Amino acid sequence: MFDRIERIPSKKLLGKSMKMSLNENRTYSLWSSFMPHRNKIKDRVDDLLYSMQVYDDSLDFKDFSPATTFTKWAAVEVSSLDRIPDSLSPYHLQGGLYAVFIHKGTPASFPKTAQYIFGQWLPSSDYVLDKREHFEVFTSDHKPDDPESEEEVWIPIK
């Protein structure tokens, strides 16, 4: 599951966002509203898709529960924010140091990956969780219902 540690620069993202929690998961609705617009976006850097979670700065992850709310984004990276379609919003991902993991499987199997990251890897590493964006990166041909499907999971660390 653990793949690497990587420092990334800030990124310009363009997409759609929704407030949600794990209890009130609206991910499917978010991505369904975003995907028809993705090919109209000018200045795309690549064909990758970003599924990003932005948590409140006051959140202590020791208190995280399925009822914790966050803003989830469905987005792509762009080189410029000069041409923003009416239906989309910009976001500046801060960048910084990340631990990158590979999740293989469906969304239903993601709790196992999260348990490994937060319950095993992070506590035994020399790092602590940083208060920045968490995100997943996958290709445009990603099939979430395929148990062989893979995506990168980026966890902010310091």
What is the domain count for the chain? 1
Return d(Cα 18, Cα 24) in angstroms, integer. 11
- Domain with residue 84: its CATH number is 3.20.80.10
Structure token digits, residue 47: 């064909």
- Is the predicted pLDDT of residue 141 greater than 90, yes or no? no
User: Which ranges of the chain would DSSP assign to H, the alpha helix?
Assistant: 27-34, 110-115, 122-124
Q: What is the pTM of this model?
A: 0.93
- Residue 61 is part of which domain span? 2-156
- Is the predicted pLDDT of residue 61 greater than 80, yes or no? no
The vertex-141 CA angle with 139 and 118, nearest 5°, equals 45
What pLDDT sits at residue 79?
A: 97
- Average pLDDT over every residue of 49-70: 87
- Is the predicted pLDDT of residue 34 greater than 80, yes or no? yes
**pLDDT tens across 92-122, in order?**
999 999 999 999 998 889 989 999 999 999 9
What pLDDT sits at residue 154?
A: 98
What pLDDT sits at residue 144?
A: 80
- The sign of the dihedral angle between the CA atoms of 15, 20, 21, 24 is negative
